[in-house]
Chains A and B, each alone.
Chain A
Amino acid sequence: MGASFAVGYLMFLLKGAVWTVGLSLIALSCGGVLAFIVALCRIAPNRWLRLVTALYIQIIQGTPVLVIIFLTYFGLPSLGWSVSPLLAASLSLSVYVSAYLGESWRSSLQSVPRAQWEAAECLALSRAQRMMKVVLPQAIRIATPPTVGFMVQIIKNTSLASIVGFIELVRAGQIVNNTIFQPFLIYLLIAVLYFAMCYPLSILSRRLEVSAGEKAYA
């Protein structure tokens, strides 16, 4: 009896882990699109656009993710929109990603040596063409290591979705705990599963940073 129960619980946890990955991907893709817009706005010629975007980033970066999630999950319904846990978590995390990645990607765009921008100008490319063909490819290379590193942050922050009832890994563990009452063991197992997801990404990010540093001197 014990073994099959244990396997059942483990499968439930793993299913939660799958949703952790799923929510992370949603946050990464939606947040990523927003982040790209944010990054472009931060270096736009229009001064107001730059300021408003900078303000947006400061506000989001100065607020705990949990408060953003609560604001979305509890606050929006009080204004008339109904919000499911998944929607609240997705929206909040996307906003969170847009601010942090947006700032990081802006920095990457600006790290592309000035000479590259100028060379593209001299070749009579339009602003859009300069961006697409010359600056962006190099910016992407610069941005890859920190973005991979940030994916670890996204995965960890999905744990907060459990608080508003979304059934990812932590919530799954809490549900299992309601049956077997071994909280320490369960959270330990949850920690191991998070580690298994995050550690490879951390290592990858570090490797990318080292090789990016080496290429810079090539």
Chain B
Amino acid sequence: MRSGSDTPSQDIVVSLKGVHKSFGSNQVLRGVDLDVSRGEVVAIIGKSGSGKSTALRCIDYLESIDQGTIRVCDHQVHKPDVDLRALRLDIGIVFQSYNLFPHLTIEQNVMLAPTAVKKLARPAARQLAHRVLGQVGLLEKANQFPERLSGGQQQRAAIARSLAMEPKIMLFDEVTSALDPQLTGEVLRVIEDLANKGMTMIMVTHEMNFARKIADTIVFMHEGKVWEKGGAHILNSPGTPELREFLQHEL
């Protein structure tokens, strides 16, 4: 459990019900049900192919769903007339491969969306950029191009870029999986800091210890469904044989 935080409110901000998704003949999601409250930190774990990344991507409409409903704040994501722009203002997502824009400096990467989408004036945007970069500890790298940063630094920059849009919910898609082990620490610290500040977060991760430390809820996905769900204790005493087997492989 997280230290020194308020308990999450009962206000449900993300709600998936009966979500099905196939890629061609491959059924990846077979009925996912998940509710996330405001301020809650959810860690989704499971082996590859269990559908965890897909479920995350569906929340931000990076994939469309075949069946079921997804609600984020007051956006009905499964409906064809959903206001994508408004949805994406409320959600920030960080990817495994950082996806920074290589032709822009770190500062420019962070400033792009606030100036282009929120029409912020450049000086105000720069101030905002410096604030979030300071928050992730990258202020001195603001004028560098991404290629000169380490993987950990690039990922922190990607987090700053999402934070600059002041989202209500942050999604993390295996953000440390592509990093060398010694670089994951700096990224996890930033995420933990965000959690302590009360950000609603859903993270797909392989870092079991980290999940145990900061998550309010652990969600174990298996064969396209939420197989087991509970507090951090389920990592110590798993309820289902599948989770037990998964945890044995992870260690």
Touching chains A and B, CB distance < 8 Å: no
| Chain A residues within CB distance 8 Å of chain B | none
Chain B positions within 8 Å of A, measured between CB atoms, are none
